[in-house]
A and B are shown apart, each in its own frame.
Chain A
Amino acid sequence: MTATSTKPSDNLNIVIVGHVDHGKSTLLGRLYADTGSLPDGKLEKVQAICRQQGKEFEYAFLFDAFLEEQEQGITIDTARTFFGWKGRQYIIIDAPGHKEFLKNMISGAARAEGALLLIDALEGVKEQSKKHGYLLSLLGVRQFAVVVNKMDLVGYRQDVFDGIEKEYREFLGQFKAVPQRIIPVSAKLGDNIANRSEKMPWYSGPTVLDALSVFRKEPGRSEQPLRLPVQDVYKFDARRIIAGRVTAGRLKVGDSLVFSPSNKRATIKSIEAFNIDPPPVEGHAGQSVGVTLDEQIFVERGEIASHQEQLPLVSTAFRANVFWLGRKPLERGRRYQLRVATKEVDCEVATIHRIIDTMDLAQQQGSSVVNKNQVAELTIRAKAPVAFDLSASFEATGRFVLVDEYDIAGGGIVTELVHDDQEFLREEARQRDFAWVKGEVGVEDRAQQYGHRAAIVLVTGGRHTGKSFLARTIEARLVADGRHAYLLDGENLRRGLDADLSEGERGQATEMARRYGEVARLLVDTGLIVVSTTNPFGMAYVEAAQAIRTLVHPVPVIAINMSKAPEEVPPNTDIVLSGPADFDAATRLILEELKRRGVLAQAIGAKPTFQYSI
């Protein structure tokens, strides 16, 4: 026990991947044995089980804990084991190589900071050798060494090793992956694992352990621009704490933060911590932190805090490389949950551009599904704007998973922002919000005074469905209940604000919607509940509703669609009223929705206790 008695000051997650039977568990067993990291009796216990079952002892059995794994001689799930070597503690993730268990391999590799990829010298480069190499790159594991195993079975021949090195480097080069080392070994006999082999004098590079020791810990994420995805907002006591993990960059007390996509701004008042004295004044990448702000702004889980100079991207769509692990194939048009950092939002696959064959990286086009264990290039469209980054620039905020029903069914990296039709309005809103001149009265002050939050109730639908009448009924009811509500009718804008527009310009729904949206934005800033219809926009009401939503974001928009006969409703509609409407019943439904969304407090007249936080 020399190795483990040194004091570890650092730890590193390493995954071992490669084709089935190329010797991953054996390598792991050997690493353990050669660093003296096995507990007393473990070796003897496994050897005894082997004798009992009448089979030859293998190092692999030390870690294949499940009965079934030992019987079948394959690893089913990822196992985590630990050993120490030269002042560093290694957490080794042994991932299964059998293609049936690809999701387990991916789960293992996604946690890794470095990788060892095994190739059998006798069998050469196989299907999973390539797939795993490609996936390591997709998963963001940039430092890895290739280990050519079972050199004893090819007589330790240099030409065999050179052939494999050439073939595999060419394959990796196609997606610009470069291994740090390629090492010839025999895990079974211990050649070039901890000790340099005498059988391969032609090799002068490092042993496996030497190669591991030059892997670095999280290279430089703290030097990047700040990214702090909001995980939760707590109000356990007098403090209102924004909690999250810094995924890139640094923050300190006094920094001005911008939250995307809401464009809210505030300054860090304090960094909170339990049992740390004096309290911290700064934080950096990797840390789970909690901050309080100088102003009570409404921010939610899923937003990304950054500094104003280097904001994340915001869109409803992006292009991505995705690997699919779901039991059911990924289908275009089907609804999935998208999770980017802490944001969770419904999405669908708008386009499947191509399926990538990881054997030869050939592209197969024109598929409408992605099957289990396939990799594909997709465009994903979310129901609401999402803040994210390109994975080439930021690791944690540039990747995502897709959830199908209850399970994570796929993962991917963002390769490109896809411009959506709201882009210009969103940029207008962003610039306007950053420069917004505020008075002394904050949003929260108005909410406390009025007994409700600001919101927009937007009634959409075709002609002659009773939209105006419903809007008037809602306004009257809200005011009768003591709320501050106002009916904003587009006709009133047309004759005043829009009087400068020509007849042709008035026919352009987008410009009309932009003007309407900016007026609505002013009114909600006064704390009002704005009730309105999309009448002025005619049949272009779907696009108009979307534009209004973008401009007033993040104020809640409660959308009601009215139609005489059942028809397709615009996206993000909250309440659908079809057929002849019972206006009183409809009004009650809408008031309930306002309560559910936290706009109205539950009891009329009661001062709301705003848990803006939770």
Chain B
Amino acid sequence: MRHLRQLEDQSVYILREAYKHFDNLAMLWSMGKDSTVLLWLARKAFFGHVPFPLLHVDTSYKIPAMIEYRDRVAREWGLKLVVGQNKEALAAGMNHTLGRVNCCTALKTNGLKQLIEQKGYTGIILGVRADEEGTRAKERYFSPRDKHGDWDFRDQPPELWDQFKTTFPPGTHIRIHPLLDWTEINIWEYIKFENIPFIDLYLDKGDGTRYRSLGCAPCTTPIKSTAKSVDDIIDELRHTTVAERSGRAQDEGRGMELLRKDGYM
């Protein structure tokens, strides 16, 4: 499992750089497999501690089991949890039937932007991976966002060796991506290797389906699978040619490029 340790070493280095350079730092935690591995890596980097708050942007449409899992893990690991919600948009009745990209923009992108503005965060750590989809493949480890939280992918700063962009003009912030080099299989191999507790929605519980990627209930569909353990998942992934986010409705067409340019995760 040497390659997992190598990935871990790089992610830990990035997390420590982030903690050193950002006074007001937070980590996004969606309770999915990636951000849970990210949270585990933070405990690795800081020797059992998580020295910054974890943010959850609650769309109110999450699968209920995810909220239960969130609260239990936060309690057991002594995490500082900050939950944000775009209450205005919800009060105005925002939901996926008004357009999936619209709904993601309002409840996730704008929910996150509101939280960043309220709390004045200057660094946000996220668990995006390069192999998930095309625009994420172009990301930097330290990726600047302008005053509106937008991403200028045409003009990204250079990133050389282990030197990252850690200085930025007032009013802007940096997105930090420690998991960029990990693949979906690496995530599961690491969960197994470190014995990381994960939410059981990823497993088949007898009906021949499981979630491969977790999001809001209305826009996330389970895949056909009989994987009942982490080993089963790893074995399944080694033989699949179906894209990981095929169960995520907002990715259709050019959805992700449009969403991410405006500051989506």
Using a CB-CB cutoff of 8 Å, which residues 1-40 of chain A contact chain B? Answer: 1, 4-5, 7-11, 13, 36, 38-40
B169 at the interface (CB under 8 A from A): yes
Contact B163 A407 (CB under 8 A): no
Contact A411 B16 (CB under 8 A): no
- Note all chain B residues with C-beta closer than 8 A to A4: 238
A399 at the interface (CB under 8 A from B): yes
Expressed in whole angstroms, the Cα–Cα distance for A337 and B181 within the complex equals 28
Expressed in whole angstroms, the Cα–Cα distance for A1 and B2 within the complex equals 24
B241 at the interface (CB under 8 A from A): yes
B43 at the interface (CB under 8 A from A): yes
- Note all chain A residues with C-beta closer than 8 A to B24: none
Using a CB-CB cutoff of 8 Å, which residues 69-113 of chain A contact chain B? Answer: 76-82, 89, 91, 103-104, 106-107, 110-111
Contact with B along A43-79 (1 / 0, CB 8 A): 0000000000000000000010111100000001111
A492 at the interface (CB under 8 A from B): no
Expressed in whole angstroms, the Cα–Cα distance for A290 and B5 within the complex equals 15
Interface residues on A, range: 35 or more
Interface centre among A36, A106, A232, A411 (most CB of B within 10 A): A232
Chain A to chain B: the 7 pairs with minimum beta-carbon distance, closest first:
A65-B134, A80-B130, A288-B12, A39-B243, A79-B137, A40-B241, A103-B158
* Shortest CB distance A34–B (Å): 14
- Note all chain B residues with C-beta closer than 8 A to A63: 134, 137
Interface centre among A79, A82, A325, A405 (most CB of B within 10 A): A82
Q: Which residue of A lies closest to B172 (CB)?
A: A406
Contact A67 B254 (CB under 8 A): yes
Expressed in whole angstroms, the Cα–Cα distance for A241 and B48 within the complex equals 12
Contact A77 B138 (CB under 8 A): yes
Contact A80 B44 (CB under 8 A): no
Contact B3 A65 (CB under 8 A): no
Instruction: Count chain B residues whose beta carbon lies closer than 8 angstroms to a beta carbon of A.
Output: 57
- Note all chain A residues with C-beta closer than 8 A to B159: 107, 110-111, 408
- Note all chain A residues with C-beta closer than 8 A to B88: none
Contact with A along B157-188 (1 / 0, CB 8 A): 11111110101110000000000110101000
Contact B181 A5 (CB under 8 A): no
- Note all chain A residues with C-beta closer than 8 A to B6: 11, 286
Expressed in whole angstroms, the Cα–Cα distance for A140 and B72 within the complex equals 47
Contact A107 B140 (CB under 8 A): yes
Q: Which of A65, A231, A273 contacts B20 (CB 8 A)?
A: A231
Q: Which residue of B lies closest to A109 (CB)?
A: B160
B71 at the interface (CB under 8 A from A): no
A-B contact list, 18 entries, CB within 8 Å: A1-B239, A4-B238, A7-B238, A8-B3, A39-B242, A41-B243, A42-B243, A80-B137, A89-B183, A111-B159, A111-B161, A232-B16, A275-B43, A288-B9, A288-B16, A408-B158, A409-B158, A411-B163
Interface centre among B158, B167, B194 (most CB of A within 10 A): B158
Hey, which bits of chain A sit against chain B, CB under 8 A?
Answer: 1, 4-5, 7-11, 13, 36, 38-42, 63, 65-68, 76-82, 89, 91, 103-104, 106-107, 110-111, 231-232, 234, 236-237, 239, 241, 243, 245, 272-275, 286-288, 290, 301, 325, 337, 339, 341, 396, 399, 401, 403, 405-409, 411
Contact with A along B1-25 (1 / 0, CB 8 A): 0110111111011001101100000
Q: Which of B138, B154, B241 contacts A65 (CB 8 A)?
A: B138
Contact A66 B135 (CB under 8 A): yes
Contact B156 A77 (CB under 8 A): yes
B49 at the interface (CB under 8 A from A): yes
Q: Which of B49, B140, B160 contacts A401 (CB 8 A)?
A: B160
Contact B130 A81 (CB under 8 A): yes
* Shortest CB distance A320–B (Å): 14
* Shortest CB distance B76–A (Å): 14
Expressed in whole angstroms, the Cα–Cα distance for A406 and B169 within the complex equals 7
Q: Which of B9, B134, B157, B163 contacts A339 (CB 8 A)?
A: B163
B46 at the interface (CB under 8 A from A): yes
- Note all chain B residues with C-beta closer than 8 A to A38: 241
Contact B163 A79 (CB under 8 A): no
Q: Given A40-B242, A245-B13, A67–B257 Cβ distance below 8 Å?
A: yes
Expressed in whole angstroms, the Cα–Cα distance for A107 and B238 within the complex equals 30
Expressed in whole angstroms, the Cα–Cα distance for A103 and B7 within the complex equals 25
Expressed in whole angstroms, the Cα–Cα distance for A25 and B180 within the complex equals 20
- Note all chain B residues with C-beta closer than 8 A to A232: 16, 19-20
Contact A236 B131 (CB under 8 A): no
Contact B153 A10 (CB under 8 A): no
Expressed in whole angstroms, the Cα–Cα distance for A68 and B135 within the complex equals 12
Contact A76 B154 (CB under 8 A): yes
* Shortest CB distance B104–A (Å): 18
- Note all chain B residues with C-beta closer than 8 A to A403: 167
Contact B241 A9 (CB under 8 A): no
* Shortest CB distance B178–A (Å): 11
Contact A234 B46 (CB under 8 A): yes
Contact B20 A82 (CB under 8 A): no
Expressed in whole angstroms, the Cα–Cα distance for A81 and B168 within the complex equals 28
B51 at the interface (CB under 8 A from A): yes
Contact B135 A65 (CB under 8 A): yes
Q: Which residue of A lies closest to B45 (CB)?
A: A288
Interface centre among B154, B162, B185 (most CB of A within 10 A): B162
* Shortest CB distance A556–B (Å): 20
Q: Which residue of B lies closest to A401 (CB)?
A: B163
- Note all chain A residues with C-beta closer than 8 A to B158: 103-104, 106-107, 325, 407-409, 411
Q: Which residue of B lies closest to A232 (CB)?
A: B20
Contact B47 A274 (CB under 8 A): yes
Contact A65 B243 (CB under 8 A): no
Known: A65-B135, A288-B10. 9 other contacts (CB 8 A): A39-B243, A77-B138, A77-B153, A91-B181, A107-B160, A237-B49, A272-B47, A406-B168, A411-B163
Q: Which residue of B lies closest to A81 (CB)?
A: B137
Q: Which residue of A lies closest to B51 (CB)?
A: A236
Interface centre among A7, A78, A301, A396 (most CB of B within 10 A): A78
Contact B157 A408 (CB under 8 A): yes
Expressed in whole angstroms, the Cα–Cα distance for A36 and B239 within the complex equals 11
Q: Which residue of B lies closest to A105 (CB)?
A: B158
- Note all chain A residues with C-beta closer than 8 A to B165: 406-408
Using a CB-CB cutoff of 8 Å, which residues 72-110 of chain B contact chain A? Answer: none
Q: Which residue of B lies closest to A239 (CB)?
A: B47
Q: Which residue of A lies closest to B183 (CB)?
A: A82
* Shortest CB distance B243–A (Å): 4
Contact A65 B137 (CB under 8 A): yes
Contact B43 A274 (CB under 8 A): yes
Contact B167 A234 (CB under 8 A): no
- Note all chain B residues with C-beta closer than 8 A to A286: 6, 9
- Note all chain B residues with C-beta closer than 8 A to A39: 241-243
Contact A231 B154 (CB under 8 A): no
Expressed in whole angstroms, the Cα–Cα distance for A325 and B160 within the complex equals 11
Expressed in whole angstroms, the Cα–Cα distance for A399 and B158 within the complex equals 15
Contact B239 A5 (CB under 8 A): yes
* Shortest CB distance B3–A (Å): 5
Using a CB-CB cutoff of 8 Å, which residues 15-67 of chain B contact chain A? Answer: 16-17, 19-20, 43-49, 51
Contact B162 A76 (CB under 8 A): no
* Shortest CB distance A336–B (Å): 12
Expressed in whole angstroms, the Cα–Cα distance for A7 and B159 within the complex equals 31
